[in-house]
Amino acid sequence: MIEEIRISDLGVIGDATLELGPGFTVVTGETGAGKTMIVTALGLLLGARADAGSVRRGAASAVVEGRWDVPDHAAVTERVEDAGGAVEDGELILTRTVSAEGRSRATVGGRSAPVAVLGELADQLVTVHGQSDQIRLTSSTAQRSALDGFGGRALEQALAAYVRAFDAWQEHAAELETLTRDRDDRLAEAARLREASDEIEAAAPQPGEDDELAERAERLGNLEELRLSAGLAHEAISSESLDGATDVIGLVEAARRAIERVTGADSALQPVLEQLTELGIQASEASASLSSYLGSLEPEAGHDLELINERRAVLSALSRKYGETVDDVIAFGQRASDRLLELDGDDDRIIRLEQAVEADEAALDTAAATLTTARTKAANDLAKRVTAELRTLAMAGATLVVEVTDAGEYRRHGRDQVAILLQPHSGTDPRPISKGASGGELSRVMLAIEVVMAGSTTVPTFVFDEVDAGVGGAAAIEIGRRLAKLAERTQVIVVTHLAQVAAFATNHLNVVKDASGAVTSSSVRRLEGDDRLQEMARLLSGLGDSASGMEHARELLEVAAQSA
């Protein structure tokens, strides 16, 4: 709710502070004192268009600051934080400045923000009903939402069941549409993947095969050099010539025997003998290894190299198409096989989806019919109760009509088109509420609707301007009583010129005009006790010190107190 509004240099208001708080607040004052400027100030805080003409003459700018108490309003807090502002200890401060040149600036939670942010917060903070304001239920969407909120648990359950059915239908229908629309593309994709899969399968590449073949090709390309080098090494280690004493094995053996003959004379040569013996063994093993290697060299190296190069060409062609390496080609082939299984199963999937969509449509039709029944029942109840309220608000011939008609298509909120209409008099056609009533009547219609819907509304503050236009006597008392009833659940702020309405307020603010200076100026004060009685008397008789007016004012306050 709004705790306080401060206004500086707006219209005739020089500097004023409105202490509001919970309950029912009325704002009164003489004609021209600036009561409407309070509604204008609130409009600026809620994102209304700025007008340089509203800046007080001689002032550089007009400033409006509002302080809201939003302790448990998560949506408001989240939007403020998104805009860079802060809600501290449940308190939100909004500011709007309008320069004399028409430039406008807004702050939200202590940070500069686009004026549009104020408009976004407005729907969650305040609803204004007045002759020049857009009413809360002007759109079909808002009217439907209001009816759904009014309909209670039964309508809520019917709507939830419908939404579930709608979402299931949409999901299956969207998938079916995609599969059907893209059938030619999928057939072409399957043909490409099948050709690739067949080519890879025919080549049958093995993991790491490209690296292995590259290594073999390198070896075969250098076969003669390998054979010559290995042969020379084998001949040096173990010569097959008759004078084999010059090979490594022969030389090592001769050295071993020479040392062996003299080890008895000096034991220090024993380790040398052992080393020579080990060296002979290693030389023999190296000779055997070289002999084996020479035996392994392919006699048909040229033919083998040709076959290897042909195989590498096949693998290279696959790599250019399906991956950088043979392993990538193998992985592509696996993915192609998996995707082919999926594509080949699409026809079966389409059949299943067609069956699912058909079943979904039947369930959706049933859920929509149930929702329409619940809405129609709530609409009749709402129309009946609001019409009864209008009877007490000087609109005895008016009838509220809530129509629930078939919109002709399934939408996420149902198949219904909801319209709240007003029949001003019997015999006339119902019209949209914004067109079927004058400004004052419109505020009274909205008051009746808000009173009936009070239990389901989520708006914390209602502002009524000219709700009592063209009304007096008992009807005005009933308006005051209804406003007080609405204020039991929400904060209500009313600009009025009727004592019958002001009597029911729990907080009375008076706009006071001072024309003593060169420029007329107004301020705001809170009225209590005799000051309030005098203002009530002025509203009744035009004279604040009228004895009869004072007496009548006391009677009204007593009537209001008895109704509380």
pLDDT for residue 521 = 64
pLDDT tens by residue, 272-288: 888 988 998 998 898 88
- Categorize the per-residue pLDDT at 544 as very low, low, confident or very high, splitting at 50, 70 and 90: low
pLDDT for residue 204 = 87
pLDDT for residue 516 = 59
pLDDT tens by residue, 448-478: 888 888 767 677 888 888 777 767 778 888 8
Q: Which residues of 9-20 are buried (b: 16+ CB within 10 A; e: fewer)?
A: bbbbbbebebeb
Do 448 and 421 meet the contact criterion of CB atoms below 8 Å apart? no
The SS3 call for residue 408 is strand
Q: What is the pTM of this model?
A: 0.61
Residue 65 has pLDDT above 90, yes or no: yes
pLDDT for residue 206 = 87
The side-by-side arrangement of strands in the sheet containing 461-465 is 111-113, 104-108, 91-99, 61-69, 2-10, 13-19, 521-527, 507-514, 24-29, 491-495, 461-465, 126-129
Residue 439 has pLDDT above 80, yes or no: no
Q: Which residues contact 126 (CB under 8 A, 6 or more apart)?
A: 2, 42, 46, 459, 460, 461, 462, 463
pLDDT for residue 511 = 87
Residue 157 has pLDDT above 70, yes or no: yes
pLDDT for residue 186 = 75
Give me the mean pLDDT over the 295-312 stretch: 70
- Percent of the chain having pLDDT more than 70? 90
pLDDT for residue 298 = 63
Residue with more model confidence, 135 or 350: 350
DSSP 8-state class, residue 30: -
How many CA atoms lie less than 13 Å away from 375 in the CB half-sphere?
28
Residue 8 has pLDDT above 80, yes or no: yes
pLDDT for residue 127 = 82
Q: Which long-range contacts link 243-248 to residues 24+ away (Cβ below 8 Å)?
A: 248/283
Q: Which residues contact 442 (CB under 8 A, 6 or more apart)?
A: 129, 131, 135, 433, 434
- Percent of the chain having pLDDT more than 90? 26
Do 436 and 422 meet the contact criterion of CB atoms below 8 Å apart? yes
Give me the mean pLDDT over the 52-67 stretch: 90
Question: From CA 15, how far away is CA 509, in angstroms rounded?
Answer: 15
pLDDT for residue 437 = 67
Give me the mean pLDDT over the 525-544 stretch: 86
Residue 126 has pLDDT above 50, yes or no: yes
pLDDT for residue 403 = 94
pLDDT tens by residue, 329-379: 889 888 888 877 776 666 777 888 889 999 999 999 999 999 999 999 999
Question: From CA 46, how far away is CA 87, in angstroms rounded?
Answer: 17
Residue 301 has pLDDT above 70, yes or no: no
Residue 499 has pLDDT above 60, yes or no: yes
Give me the mean pLDDT over the 486-493 stretch: 90
Residue type, 339: R
The SS3 call for residue 506 is coil
Residue 507 has pLDDT above 50, yes or no: yes
pLDDT for residue 248 = 85
pLDDT for residue 134 = 45
pLDDT tens by residue, 218-275: 777 666 677 778 778 888 888 766 454 578 888 888 888 888 888 888 888 899 888 9
Question: From CA 537, how far away is CA 547, in angstroms rounded?
Answer: 8
Phi-psi region of 337 (alpha: psi -120 to 50; beta: other; left: phi over 0): alpha
pLDDT tens by residue, 186-215: 777 778 888 888 888 888 888 888 888 887
pLDDT tens by residue, 373-425: 999 999 999 999 999 988 888 788 889 999 999 998 999 999 999 999 999 88
pLDDT for residue 503 = 92
Rounded to the nearest integer, the mean pLDDT of the chain is 84
The three-state DSSP-derived secondary structure of 46-63 is CCCCCCHHHECCCCCEEE
Give me the mean pLDDT over the 110-131 stretch: 84
pLDDT for residue 283 = 87
